[in-house]
Chain A
């Protein structure tokens, strides 16, 4: 017998269509991916969907990602199509909401020993190191989602002039605190270790404390500004 779920198969459609794409990961997790652009509008609807799903008793975890959301059920469903239909309804009904988060200012030491990828960014963008730093700290960012490492916030709002692809060969031991650019996103490394993003500076702010009642400093919807404390070029 070829075991497959017809509904799940049919839901694999190009991301350009307006329907959300819903697929499963293993027996209990379902991933909904918003159609359309990687932008604040899509993310606001994901935040709204997360709000709706918080009222579902049968969910163990809700993990918002970058214009997508992973819903983890407490139990493996008998019929996954029922879950897919419920998620689709919730998505169709989700209105855009704006989270009124906090304003977080992060003091940054731009350049210096931790800015290992600044020369490569200058080469790629044709900008001077001073311009790259200025463009980075002049922008205002929104926390789209947390993930990957404890307390790590994916920040949206990077100026397209300094988009830099992730490195094909990651740095093996990038320090916790490095201020980095990965593709269209920026963020502050929360763990020392292998990292494929590009470092342009360093921040002292502690992003995560497992012993605090609210372990992560950032939350989705927060606004982030990088404040140059020192620029060492």
Chain B
């Protein structure tokens, strides 16, 4: 068991979400940085979709009620275990009673605490992720509060090296997979969507300009600020299904990117859609930071996904190899 000692609002139990229910209006939810969750779980030997804690408001503290093996992925939060400094992307063993503390992140936005076995909250509609909007899943459908006690699923021995097993941060390991700008702006790849052409010249301004992630941004979506873009004439759309990454343009002209807790339906004109491979990078972008959209294609999106899969396979193979070697030596 673990006990939440200190937390701000909006920290939740998440996994890879509950896709498959959009046709009855249920958002998929799930971690904003699913890659970090997959890496953390794979490193521990968990199922890659085991439930974790997504921390996005800091500081955050929890106490391990019993021995546990864990890792932190995503944002580097200057974490410590009983004041001993820890590194992200590395496994650690905690003794009963030890306190894990996460400070404000140096870079990025969201940190994931992955524990051997995974967080054991009752699955709802096939997932342990929290649906804040629907008020179900995770810890009783709400964000974590101080005093919450969470069970862990049963797990075998970790078989991890005593001084931990670490993985190269995907941002570095996959440096050639993701576009990098010379001016520090985040480059996010997207494919033109249904109403792209209806924006005329403004469509080019959408790709060319730098957008700022406004303070009106959360797990539901990011509202971008910049020079407004407008369709040539007002567009009246019938409600249709949407997915995270869709970039809609409301009448004001400042785009909204739907994220993990996206509404399942929408009616604003869509100018583009962020590719699957870049969603986690957007999920880690900070409020106030600047980004540009880079126009891409399906084949390029597929190539990027294959690189990510290769990296994840590599993490899995290596950690299994290390564990086997340790067992053989024992």
Contacts and interface: CB of A to CB of B under 8 A. Distances in A.
A66 B297 CA distance: 28
Interface stretch (A28-36, A94-102, A114-122, A125-133): A28-36
Given A12-B194, A60-B19, A25 B246 contact: yes
Interface in B24-60: 24-26
B196 to A, nearest CB: 8
Interface of B: prevailing SS: mixed
Interface residues of B, number: 49
Nearest to B20: A61
Contacts of B133: 149, 191, 193
A3 B297 contact: yes
A9 B24 CA distance: 31
Contact of B240 (A12, A62, A70): A70
A215 interface: yes
B264 A63 contact: yes
A216 B25 CA distance: 9
B88 interface: no
A33 B134 contact: no
Given A25-B246, A33-B238, A63 B23 contact: yes
B305 A76 contact: yes
Given A25-B246, A190-B25, A63 B241 contact: yes
A148 B238 contact: no
Contacts of A38: 238
B238 A67 contact: yes
A21 interface: yes
Contact of B276 (A4, A26, A63, A152): A26
Contacts of A154: 239
B297 A147 contact: no
A72 interface: yes
B87 interface: no
B277 A27 contact: yes
Contact of B134 (A64, A68, A191): A191
B48 to A, nearest CB: 16
Contacts of A193: 133
Nearest to A2: B295
A195 to B, nearest CB: 12
Interface string A183-220: 00000001101000000000000001011000110000
Contacts of A210: 26, 124-125, 131, 134, 136-137
Contact of A78 (B263, B270, B299): B299
Given A9-B197, A25-B270, A31 B295 contact: no
Given A147-B239, A152-B25, 7 more contacts: A2-B295, A3-B295, A23-B194, A28-B243, A63-B23, A148-B265, A190-B25
